[in-house]
Every structure is written in C-alpha cells, then in structure tokens.
Amino acid sequence: MTLTNLLVPTYTQMLGTLSGWLKKAQEQLPETEAEALLSARLAPDMFPLSTQIRFACVQAQEGIFRLKGEAFPTSVNELLEEGRNAGEQPGSLADAQARIDETVALLNSLTPDALDANTDKPLAHELPNGMILDLTTEQYARDWALPQFYFHLMTAYAILRSEKIELGKADYVAHMFPYIRPDTIPKG
C-alpha cells in the first residue's frame, strides 16, 4: 500500500464523517445552541470544538505538503492560527464546514501517487517547542500524521457526545457501509 492510498482515503472519509457529525448536531439542536457547541471543551485546559475541527484539517493538510516535500502555503498557517484563536473567535458551523470542504477539495485534487515520490527521503519534523523528530516518510505517516489527525477527530467526537449530541458507532464508521454484504444486513 502506498502512502497516497493510505492517507488520502482515510483523511477524506473521516473528514466527511466529521462533517456528518456537525450536521447531526445542527439537526438535533436549535441554531443558537448548535453554534454554541463550537466553544465546548472536554476540559478547561483543552482547545474547544472549533479548534479540534480546524486542527484535524491542519493535520491532513500538513501531512500532504510534508510528504510532497513542499512548503506550506499561507492557507495552512492561516488555518492553524484560526484554530489557535478559536477559543475567542470560534466562528460558525458554516465556517467549520467550509474548512472541512476546503481540505477535502485539496485531497481530491491530488494525483494517485502524489505522496509517494519522496518515500526514500528522510523527513525532519520540527515541533513548535523546537524539538525535531527524524523520521522516514512511512514513520511520519504512521506514527505522527495519522495519530495527530485522529486525536483531533476523536476529541471533536467526544466533545459532541459530552454535549448530548446523539452519535454512535455507526456515525463513526459510516464509510464502511458500502462494504456490507446486502444479505447480511439484519432484518427488522
């Protein structure tokens, strides 16, 4: 399996899932309460839902540009800053959906081998605190990019659940439904 075949469908499917969770929240709550969800947090020292959504998008975008060996466009840094400031300026659910849509559009624009050209090159990943991780591109994808993406995705899920949004396992694995054998679907 190539990095493109692993990451692009994963990011695309799960960002679509995140979008679906936000739509469910809008369906289940009056508009002002749904918008207020963006400021909800699991703990006082954690970022709010609005940041988790943006950081999930940042993780997908950063992963793409790092693996392509390209500098981040200004839009990635803008999205990162937007996420960092979302506690004070959470934006709207429409803004959050737009960030998801922009990220999915980027993913859909990639060629089938977009992330596979630099697989033999080492990747130095500098953290904001100055530490540098020396990784192969495979290690970066497996040990950093995907876990960081899922951290923000699952934190968003946990915030929504903690705010009484009715979500369950089926909402998490909706991308798997096309794989179900029709004759195995429970009746009733």
- List of domains in the chain: 3-184 (1.20.120.450)
Mean pLDDT of 129-145: 94
Distance CA 133, CA 127 (A): 8
Residue 118 scores a pLDDT above 90: no
pTM of the entire structure?
A: 0.93
Strand partners, 136: 122
Per residue in 14-66, pLDDT tens? 999 999 999 999 999 998 999 999 999 999 999 999 999 999 999 999 999 99
Query: Which is nearest to 139 in space by CA: 125, 152, 153, 154?
Result: 125
Query: Element (H or E) spanning 123, and its range?
Result: strand 122-126
User: Is 114 in contact with 137 (CB distance < 8 Å)?
Assistant: no
Query: How many other CB atoms are there within 10 angstroms of residue 65's CB atom?
Result: 15
